[in-house]
Amino acid sequence: MRTFMDVHINMVGVTAEELQAAHQADLAIQGEEDVEFRQAWADPITGHVFCLSHAPNAEAVRRIHERAGHPADEVREITVTA
């Protein structure tokens, strides 16, 4: 499995409860694309949300987010870590 970080840039004012609900929506269907969402972070002031996942490819991550109702603006593969 490969590791991905995706970004949503249109979630200004997102609350912890809304972030959790969006994350749960992803978790509910992630297995259908062999994706494993690990964690999500948000900055409600800027509206940026970041999600960490393991998946076979970026398109699988995109499809899950789209089906869950919150398409990602960017999906980046993480290939180097420290």
- Maximum distance among all Cα pairs of the chain, rounded to whole angstroms: 33
- Could you give the CA distance from residue 55 to residue 31 in angstroms, rounded to a whole number? 10
Residues in the chain: 82
Q: What is the DSSP string of 48-62?
A: EEEEEEEES-HHHHH
Q: Say whether pTM exceeds 0.85.
A: yes
- Model confidence pLDDT, tens digit, residues 22-61: 999 999 999 999 999 999 999 999 999 999 999 999 999 9
- Could you give the CA distance from residue 24 to residue 66 in angstroms, rounded to a whole number? 14
Q: Which domain holds residue 37?
A: 2-78
The DSSP bridge pattern shows strands 48-55 and 2-8 to be antiparallel
Give the number of domains in the chain. Answer: 1
CATH code where residue 41 lies = 3.30.70.3090
